[in-house]
Structure 1
Amino acid sequence: MSGPIVVGVDGSPSSLEAVSVAAREARLRGCALKVVHAFIWPAKHVPPGPVPLGPAGGEVRNAVGRLVAEAVERARSVAPDVEVGNAVVAGEALVVMEAQSRTASLVVVGSRGMGGFAGLLLGSMAVHLTTHGRCPVMVVRGEPDRAGPVLLGVDGSPAGEEAVEFAFEEAGLRGTEAVALHAWTPGSAAAAPPQDPSMPSCALEPGILAAQEPLLAEAVAGRRQRHPDVRVEYTVVRGDAREALIEASRNAGLIVVGSRGRGGFTGLLLGSVSQALLHHAHCPVVVVRGTDARGWGSQGSDTAHRTGNVQ
């Protein structure tokens, strides 16, 4: 889906870091950046119907203006050649950012916030967007190695195909390699039938490992043809997918996963593997929902009231 990169800001250091990352992403993709601030009046001052920001010289308007101006300036300092627009939207942050995702190619948010995202701990905004958003969602956290590879969690599920494509495109844009990682446990991984049923489980592990390698290669085969310049490293790990990906993220520039899966991620819906990464990864995390689950590009009503400069 074509569209700007949208970054949510609230004046916190975390959201400003998200602006920097989003600006670099916009520069890589050659697209516009849209800085969005969600604004809610204190409950005792909320009038019925659409609300303005108040008088032109009002304290609230000035504070919001400074917040957004700082974010825009940060973006332009990081990527001077990127077109930067901004929007101040009156509404609850979750609703506002979900609506923004309908026309975005990527939504970027910080891992912690305040102001427009007041009271939302890590997981609230991120999980809501990765569950209901209409485009991939990046949560900026950790201290990534900008030259590090794009780490891809692979489980072979149809739902994960969009994540594979995103990871390869991102690696191509960054000029880095892609590390495709598949994690398995003896209780969940498919294994080749043993020649001797009495064979101890420890002796079966080489066969189990061998059975995982074709799954990993098959999952990325088509993408390698479409992205021949991207070098791919295959990694099969025995262990929990969450722990394996978190550990591997220490040396990554970005980690990409689907919202749900099977195989190495058996039975893990968003809130387990994905949520664990949102809380503990050492680099930014992108969660990509499958096309069948979200209908990217579909247009819906924007329930938030818009004010300010909407680009």
Structure 2
Amino acid sequence: MKIPRNAVIVGYDGSPDADLAVEWADRAAVQRSAPLHLLTSLYDPAAVNLSPSTAWYELHLAELEQAVRDRLVGLASSSVTHELIGGPPVPALVDASAGAAMVVIGARGHTQAAGLLLGSVSQHVSRHATSPVVVVRRPEDAESRRIVVGIDGSGGSAAALDFAFAQAGLTGAPLRVVHGWWHTRPGRVEGLSNPINDIPEALASGERIVAEALAGRRERYPDVTVETVVVPRPPSVLLTEESATAALVVVGSRGRGTFKGMLLGSVSQDVLRTSRCPVAVVR
């Protein structure tokens, strides 16, 4: 099936987090006047090992088709398409991301253990997709509209900041730009463009990073309310704390200090696991 160009693509498996992902994706598609495309996979890794019968597959297919029909009811998007595939969802979602506005997935699907905070599909898609990926979970503060974005002066955080500004502009949400750093040993400050030894100097450097990042973007988005935070806290800890009162946390896929060749940096991985609201990973 040909997926519409610049569609908002959402992976759907009938799980509670997938339902939340469809709701989030539907709003995003309406905000962008973009088509919405649901992708559902029949693939069940547990069933593959059991060599299920044709009757099992037919029952599974019927259940999924009914779940999709139910899920499509009441969507606000003007253009909605759906695709049912037989193979694993990760390669299909990653391939579809090449021409997508974004890919939206639930934090955990039906096959994930109850104690896990992040499922394997969301982990792999957020690592390998070429478009922004939004991993959706129920926000701790359901009333919050705030968007939080973490920056460190890297190219990855610049892309995250662009996404966050655009999302705030589309939704009218306030934007909170945060910058944190950590200590690798007493008296030494890491997480800045150049490691330094003095805390006041680190604060000043952090303020410069934020000011340089915002230069020009405030002018492009004059209606977006922006608040900045520069504090000596490890970035992943700071963003997780911020997520408790946010509607969305935005991170770059890789920041400063990430080894060349890594597809997802340690901060973005940590935030995906521990965030208390949806997370957008941007390249």
**TM-score bracket, shorter-length normalisation:** 0.7 to 0.9
Q: Would you say 1:229 and 2:223 are equivalent positions?
A: yes
2:146 is aligned, of 145, 149, 154, to 149
Q: Would you say 1:127 and 2:123 are equivalent positions?
A: yes
Query: 1 or 2 for the larger relative contact order (CA 8 Å, sep ≥6)?
Result: 1
- Structure 1 residues 123 and 16, CA, compared in 2 at 3 Å: closer, same or farther? closer
| Residue number in structure 2 paired with 1:216 | 210
| Residue number in structure 1 paired with 2:25 | 22
SS in 1 for 2:157: helix
> How far, CA to CA, are the matches of 1:114 and 1:271 in structure 2?
27
SS in 1 for 2:239: helix
Tell me how far 1:92 sits from its aligned partner: 0.8
Tell me how far 1:281 sits from its aligned partner: 0.8
| Residue number in structure 1 paired with 2:190 | 188
| Residue number in structure 2 paired with 1:67 | 67
> How far, CA to CA, are the matches of 2:143 and 2:30 in structure 1?
14
Under a length normalisation based on structure 1, what TM-score does the superposition of the two structures give? Answer: 0.76
Q: Would you say 1:95 and 2:91 are equivalent positions?
A: yes
Q: Would you say 1:7 and 2:13 are equivalent positions?
A: no
Contact 2:181 2:234 (8 Å CA) reproduced: yes
- Structure 1 residues 91 and 162, CA, compared in 2 at 3 Å: closer, same or farther? same
Identity %: 36
Under a length normalisation based on structure 2, what TM-score does the superposition of the two structures give? Answer: 0.83
> How far, CA to CA, are the matches of 1:102 and 1:192 in structure 2?
34
Equivalent position amino acid for 1:281 in 2: S
- Structure 1 residues 64 and 93, CA, compared in 2 at 3 Å: closer, same or farther? same
SS in 1 for 2:38: strand
> How far, CA to CA, are the matches of 1:87 and 1:125 in structure 2?
17
Alignment size in residue pairs? 264
| Residue number in structure 2 paired with 1:305 | none
> How far, CA to CA, are the matches of 2:153 and 2:20 in structure 1?
33
Structure 2 counterparts to residues 51-62 of structure 1, below 5 A: 58-62=58-62
Which residues of structure 1 form unaligned runs of 5+? 48-52, 195-200, 290-311
SS in 1 for 2:277: coil
Deviations 1:173-208 (A, max 9, x none): 1101211100023421559999xxxxxx7xx32222
- Structure 1 residues 193 and 152, CA, compared in 2 at 3 Å: closer, same or farther? closer
RMSD: 2.8
**Which structure has the bigger radius of gyration?**
1
Contact 2:153 2:193 (8 Å CA) reproduced: no
Which residues of structure 2 form unaligned runs of 5+? 183-187
Deviations 1:209-257 (A, max 9, x none): 1121011110121222221211211100111111100001111111100
